[in-house]
Chains A and B, each alone.
Chain A
């Protein structure tokens, strides 16, 4: 199984992407499967480690938190920009107890998508993330959110 399909999740995602971009027909499904299998093998040459999802159940909750946080952050930053005085900004450090590249990649997407936060650096030595916040008052809230709602759930997902 692992020999034929080295990256099962990627293969499935590529197939779905192919079908969305073309048409949902049997012919396209066969062609898409072939393309996805070849692409997965090509990736296997570069990245032999397969991403394994240990638990699927926290994913919907994580996605919901993500959407709510992004909306909330968009409205807050929009207001801050349009108000006469913008709040004082600053840097915070968040200690994230992980070395998993997948977890860090997802957290970076969250941070980039939330307008109030910007990723400045990651120190693998002491596993600290340096963030710039538009409103430094929200530092503790973001630290809590990243640690509890994101890191905790991502660790459950990737194990």
Chain B
């Protein structure tokens, strides 16, 4: 593990710290934000910021150590990016339905889901 040159170690270390910070802030956001819709935003920090930093750190670290480009991590980032909307949309829509069922006026004036409930 010691065959990583000092410049690469610094770059990888900084990227890992940045990624960890994003993930930590995302987790703190889940605790601190007070409303379900607002909490939807916190996990995106881990999905985009943290993932990007850690994927970059992994690519640089393993490419330098192996002496050839290691690109496997790009796939990790790609699949996280592509699948994140599915869960986030599902959660958002569930919250909208729940609020509408409870007659809570959270939605906008012309909410796409609430405008014509009998058409669905």
- Residue numbers of A with Cβ under 8 A of B are 17, 20-21, 70-71, 73-74, 77-78, 81-82, 86, 89, 91-93, 105, 108-109, 111-123, 125-126, 128-130, 132, 134
For chain B residues 7-24, which have a beta carbon within 8 Å of chain A?
21-22
User: How far, in angstroms, from A100 to B93 measured CA to CA in the complex?
Assistant: 21
Once the chains bind, are A115 and B45 in contact (CB under 8 Å)?
yes
CB-CB under 8 A from B29, the residues of chain A are 77, 81
Contact A122/B112 with A115-B44, A134-B41 known, Cβ cut-off 8 Å:
yes
Interface size class of B (residues with CB under 8 A): 35 or more
Contact A113 B22 (CB under 8 A): no
B28 touches A120 (CB 8 A): no
Closest to B18 in A: A74
Inter-subunit contact A109/B74 (CB<8 Å): no
Q: Return the chain A residue nearest B51 by Cβ.
A: A113
Indicate if the CB atoms of B48 and A115 lie closer than 8 Å.
yes
Please name all residues of chain A whose beta carbon is closer than 8 Å to the beta carbon of B93 when the two chains form the complex. Answer: 120-121
Are A70 and B92 interface neighbours, CB within 8 A?
A: no
**Residue B115, interface by CB 8 Å:** yes
Q: Which residue of A lies closest to B50 (CB)?
A: A74
Asked if B103 lies at the interface with its beta carbon under 8 angstroms from chain A, I say no
Q: Does B98 contact A (CB under 8 A)?
A: no
Q: Is there an interface contact between B47 and A112, defined as CB atoms closer than 8 Å? A: yes
Pick from A20, A70, A89: contact of B38, CB below 8 A.
Answer: A89
Closest residue of chain B to A105 (Cβ to Cβ) is B85
Q: Which residues of B contact A119 (CB under 8 A)?
A: 85, 88-89, 92
Taken together as a complex, chains A and B put the C-alpha atoms of A89 and B35 apart, in Å, by 10
